[in-house]
Structure 1
Amino acid sequence: MTIKILYGAAPEDIKAYDTERLRAAFLITDLFAADMASFTYTHVDRLLLGGAMPIARSVTFGSGADIGTSYLLSAREMGIANLGGTGTATVDGRLFTLQNRDVLYVGRGAREISVASHSGDAPARFYMNSVPAGADIPHRLITRAESKPLDLGDSRRSNKRRLAMYIHPEVAPSCLLLMGITDLAEGSVWNTMPPHLHERRMEAYCYFDMAPEERLIHLMGQPEETRHLVVANGDAVLSPAWSIHMGAGTGPYAFVWGMTGENQEYNDVAPVALAELK
């Protein structure tokens, strides 16, 4: 298990960032290295995100040494989304099987988590979001069929998409974590368009199911002074509360969204008119 730390930035700071520094502060790459767990701890609402792609062996994590606790989840909850082939997650001896686009909620207090793939030829790709939690909530597997879908957008605006809620009060309860997956309709390229801000929550995106040669242009920053990140398959982007988060892909893609903050009200947002963007 490896862990790196990001400290975030104020909106005034990024006015002077070049491409390299902007990517270093907000873009997380190399999440899915073979047979290891890679985590990033960010001071943006203390979100911990990670990835693991077990191929030849299982991957185990759970130590809290890097964050100053006995266990990684001593005072945290976690969502684990499988973005690849069939795999398993074992939480303190309890086995869960995750198909593609299934999500496992792991409650506060879990000590050891081990993930594995059914086949090294079609490995599972486990993507993790973890946030501080103040309640003990039982572990729960949420299958793709059990998620709550919302159809959004319009094909005429190239932003038609299906958002599936997994870790959400209407599907599976948590303390502060929200997590879901959005798929774009064929021919649509824009996500989260028109954009919005949510001052009381931060968000992270993990883009996946992109062809190796394709890229996504993720727009971020304050509406009156935007910046962009060029994102590849499997990359994740941190979105502070002061930043918009929208993007357009050069080909098909999907993304996992994870949020945490003061509330779990999905519609607690401040819409931003496209005419306001600069």
Structure 2
Amino acid sequence: MTTRFAISARETAGLNTAGLREHFLIENIFTPGAIELTYTHYDRMLVGGAMPTEAGLPLPNPGNLKANYFLERRELGALNVGGAGQIVVDGTTYDLGYQDCLYVGKGSQQVEFKSVNAAEPAKFYLLSAPAHKEYPTTRRTQAEATPVQMGAQETANERTIYKYIY
């Protein structure tokens, strides 16, 4: 797990492209057969990816979280942007197709990521934040997500954001 420290607005304003990339770009999100995590001091977020191939990948418990297990005081969102996959949470298996999402609540102790077909592996984009209340693990498809239209074609930033977790 890599760590990114917060920098001030004044420092950010003085950065060139290389400096901005160094402080904010996360380049290695998906590595076959591995989980990649980046801890950022902005809101104590963890950003990463899990790309299981032949074997399942258990969610690690990095020592600097100072917890008995990863989700002891955190929650996790996992969005599948690859092939069909599964996430096993405390013995319950959730099937996730392309663009399906799983919210895993605080207190879940064992989380494992799996691909249905190693030749077309699942790619789980991961976001984790501190949690103060337990909520149940919940699966959502893109059809169940709330689409929000943003931007405009005239300013070249027209897009749709799908809210799975809120």
Change (3 A) 1:59 1:18: same
Provide the secondary structure at the position in 2 that maps to 1:12: helix
Question: Aligned pair count?
Answer: 166
User: Residues of 1 paired with 2:144 and 2:50: CA distance?
Assistant: 24
- By relative contact order (CA 8 Å, sep 6+), the higher-ranking structure is 2
Displacement after TM superposition at 1:156 (Å): 4.4
Provide the secondary structure at the position in 2 that maps to 1:138: coil
User: Residues of 1 paired with 2:125 and 2:131: CA distance?
Assistant: 19
TM-score calculated relative to the size of structure 2: 0.92
Match of 2:145 among 137, 144, 147: 147
Residues 62-71 or 74-83, more deviating:
62-71
User: Residues of 2 paired with 1:65 and 1:52: CA distance?
Assistant: 19
CA contact (8 A) 1:108 1:133 kept: yes
Amino acid at match of 1:58: G
User: Residues of 2 paired with 1:68 and 1:61: CA distance?
Assistant: 15
User: Residues of 1 paired with 2:155 and 2:63: CA distance?
Assistant: 48
User: Residue in 1 aligned with 2:96?
Assistant: 98
1:112-151, Cα deviation, whole Å (9 max, x unpaired): 2111111122111101111111101010001111111233
Match of 1:48 among 46, 49, 63: 46
Displacement after TM superposition at 1:160 (Å): 3.2
Q: What's the RMSD between the two structures over aligned residues?
A: 1.6
Provide the secondary structure at the position in 1 that maps to 2:9: coil
Provide the secondary structure at the position in 2 that maps to 1:25: helix
Displacement after TM superposition at 1:97 (Å): 0.5
Amino acid at match of 2:73: A
Amino acid at match of 1:9: I
Displacement after TM superposition at 1:21 (Å): 2.8
TM-score calculated relative to the size of structure 1: 0.57
User: Residue in 1 aligned with 2:59?
Assistant: 61
Change (3 A) 1:155 1:22: closer
1:204-231, Cα deviation, whole Å (9 max, x unpaired): xxxxxxxxxxxxxxxxxxxxxxxxxxxx
After the TM superposition, which residues 120-131 of structure 1 pair with which residues of structure 2 at under 5 Å, given as runs?
Answer: 120-131=118-129
Question: What percentage of aligned pairs have identical amino acids?
Answer: 34
Displacement after TM superposition at 1:153 (Å): 4.0
CA contact (8 A) 1:65 1:71 kept: no
After the TM superposition, which residues 17-36 of structure 1 pair with which residues of structure 2 at under 5 Å, given as runs?
Answer: 17-36=15-34
Amino acid at match of 1:31: I
Q: Which runs of 5+ in 2 are unaligned?
A: none
CA contact (8 A) 1:35 1:57 kept: yes
Displacement after TM superposition at 1:61 (Å): 1.4
Q: Which runs of 5+ in 1 are unaligned?
A: 169-278
> Quick check: which one's helix share is greater?
2
After the TM superposition, which residues 152-171 of structure 1 pair with which residues of structure 2 at under 5 Å, given as runs?
Answer: 152-168=150-166
After the TM superposition, which residues 78-117 of structure 1 pair with which residues of structure 2 at under 5 Å, given as runs?
Answer: 78-117=76-115
Residues 38-47 or 15-24, more deviating:
15-24
Change (3 A) 1:143 1:44: same
1:63-106, Cα deviation, whole Å (9 max, x unpaired): 25231111111101110000111100011111000111111000
Amino acid at match of 2:8: A
